[in-house]
Structure 1
Amino acid sequence: MIAFSGGVDSSTLAAVCHEILGGKVVAVTAVSPVYPQEEVEEAKKVAKEIGIKHILLETNELLNEDFVRNPENRCYYCKKELLKSLKSLAEELGFKAVFEGTNYSDLNSHRPRFKAVKEMENVYSPWAENGFTKEEIRTIARRIGLSVSDKPPLACLASRIPFGEKITLEKLNRIGKAENIIRKITQAKQLRVRDHNGLARIEVGRDERQIFFNTKIMDIIAKELIELGFKYVTLDLEGYRSGSMLLTLETAETPRRKLPEIG
């Protein structure tokens, strides 16, 4: 059984396993308030592209109080809940192991979710355990012709909320709707709307920032997001960077992006 998000790591893993095992493998995608619905639809398309059997599994991390209080290791609780659900389904369907897509590059960053993987029996991370980096996985995906080979990294909607600030369904829905609006208007490929207690901080890929330097686009986005309930709407001039929310921690040691010299 493959934990299948539709991202490049899990999709490539699913494609390789399906090539080797055929009908003896199944891909399972979690359907939850913390995951954008568009990603679920994307996962359906990729599973069809691969030709693998695909199952949608409903989960609700908001029932876990540890997750909802949003501590620094929030991802641990989220991953633990997901893996428990996957293992239960695997046992029910007669599968002996669950594979998930953590890669070797992930081990060098703030990834408390991997601790949950190591704690679970019969759950494996083939990419990480065999030293495959993100770029090597993308190379494999390109060689086998996967449409998601260059897809930007995924993250659940809860990652847009500062640590320590309670995660609610209302916030998740607002963030998801905001990202949908911005994506439709700008076609931005790499996008996060960080919700700082009602202030929307928009992060997009560094080469996509110039899309926003248009008064009409700025006016439309501001109006739409304010109507969703945001008090302020801002663009992060540094652009998207993984782990930017770690800077909200008092003990944060996350380095800032090195910006180019000016002048």
Structure 2
Amino acid sequence: MAERPASGGDAAADAGRVGAAGDAMDRLTARLRREDAVVVAYSGGADSALLAFAAARVLGGRALAVTAVSPSLAASERATARDFARAHGLAHLEVCTDEADRPEYAANGADRCYHCKSALFDALTPLAAAMGARIALGTNLDDLGDHRPGQRAAAERGAIAPLVEAGLTKADVRAVSRSLGLVTADKPAAPCLASRVSYGDPVTPEVLRRIETAEGALRDLGFPVCRVRAHAGGTLARVEVPVTEIPRACELRERVDAAVRGAGFTFCSLDLSGFASGRLNALLPLLPS
């Protein structure tokens, strides 16, 4: 059967999306032009990748993308960040951060992200000073309504959020990235591994290794979007996959269980509510004030 041509309405909608993406990119470009130089905190995710790409396009050699390397960064994410930077000719540097050595971070209280971001800024500030640059974060408008103590650290250090100032939501970031042909346009969110550890349980390199290994094994089983949340001191894994994937996870129960327990967890459970970002934030009201 011949393919049905796009209707006028479809064509208009496509044109509207392209136009909106172009407008968003124009706003981001205009915002970056106000900077002499920037050091982009670059994880390789959709937000920071677009920001690093745009900064390099606008500022050239006065834009530096810096990836923080620590046990909370999965090796696969580090490789993805390297590949993207190499593919687009970004000036890219990796620095080691010491949040894992900070007791306040390891204690994993409600303010863990504050201490993590503080370690990041401690590493980036000398680089920015040497360049006469400001530190730029890939925060978007949608991030502002979530529990993100790291934003307080950013405010204290004078970091900027060009995506926010340009009015970009996560959907805008993906639309602009798609219009530019960036492979990160549809990249699933991949927050740091420590975000999988239940508040109040210590964040240790061993627990982070278990999480990284288990999630890698689940992706190998065909679950590209998944989370392994660590509870009970890192002995219990609570697996989250999208609701539509729960039946298949049940069909593969033995392989899922073997993959997770093979990573070092004693117990493996499947969350029947399905995957949702920030699920552990439900525990925040239960923490000591």
CA contact (8 A) 1:79 1:116 kept: yes
TM-aligned CA deviation for residue 246 of structure 1: 1.7
Q: Secondary structure at the match of 1:124?
A: coil
Q: What's the counterpart of residue 238 of structure 2?
A: 201
1:66 equivalent among 104, 125, 129:
104
CA contact (8 A) 1:8 1:150 kept: yes
TM-score by length of 2: 0.81
1:145 equivalent in alignment to 2:181: yes
Q: What's the counterpart of residue 128 of structure 1?
A: 164
Pick the structure with greater CA Rg.
2
Unaligned runs of 5+ in 2: 1-38
CA contact (8 A) 1:189 1:205 kept: no
TM-aligned CA deviation for residue 152 of structure 1: 1.5
1:20 equivalent among 58, 64, 87:
58
TM-aligned CA deviation for residue 132 of structure 1: 1.4
Change (3 A) 1:218 1:95: farther
TM-aligned CA deviation for residue 42 of structure 1: 0.4
Q: Which amino acid aligns with 2:196?
A: R
TM-aligned CA deviation for residue 75 of structure 1: 0.8
Cα distance in 2, alignment partners of residues 191 and 60 from structure 1: 27
Number of residue pairs the alignment of both structures matches = 247
1:8 equivalent among 46, 51, 63:
46
Q: Which amino acid aligns with 1:161?
A: V
Q: What's the counterpart of residue 284 of structure 2?
A: 249
Q: What's the counterpart of residue 98 of structure 1?
A: 135
Change (3 A) 1:97 1:226: same
Q: Deviations over 1:19-40 (max 9, x none)?
A: 1112221111111101111100
TM-aligned CA deviation for residue 208 of structure 1: 3.0
TM-aligned CA deviation for residue 73 of structure 1: 1.6
Unaligned runs of 5+ in 1: 253-263
Q: Secondary structure at the match of 2:188?
A: coil
Q: Deviations over 1:63-109 (max 9, x none)?
A: 111111011121111111101211122224x2421111011110011
Identity of aligned residues (%): 36
Cα distance in 2, alignment partners of residues 251 and 224 from structure 1: 31
CA contact (8 A) 2:42 2:52 kept: yes
CA contact (8 A) 2:218 2:259 kept: no
Identify which range, 68-77 or 225-234, moves more after superposition.
225-234
Q: What's the counterpart of residue 209 of structure 2?
A: 173
CA contact (8 A) 1:34 1:61 kept: no
Q: Deviations over 1:133-183 (max 9, x none)?
A: 111111111111100101111211111111111111111111111111111
Cα distance in 2, alignment partners of residues 167 and 116 from structure 1: 20
Q: Secondary structure at the match of 2:83?
A: helix
Cα distance in 2, alignment partners of residues 148 and 227 from structure 1: 30
TM-aligned CA deviation for residue 251 of structure 1: 4.3
Cα distance in 2, alignment partners of residues 148 and 100 from structure 1: 17
Change (3 A) 1:223 1:28: same
Q: Deviations over 1:98-131 (max 9, x none)?
A: 111011110011111111111103x211112332
1:238 equivalent among 259, 268, 273:
273
**Higher helix fraction (1 or 2):** 2
Q: What's the counterpart of residue 161 of structure 1?
A: 197
Cα distance in 2, alignment partners of residues 209 and 19 from structure 1: 42
CA contact (8 A) 2:70 2:100 kept: no
Q: Secondary structure at the match of 2:268?
A: strand
Q: Which amino acid aligns with 1:155?
A: P
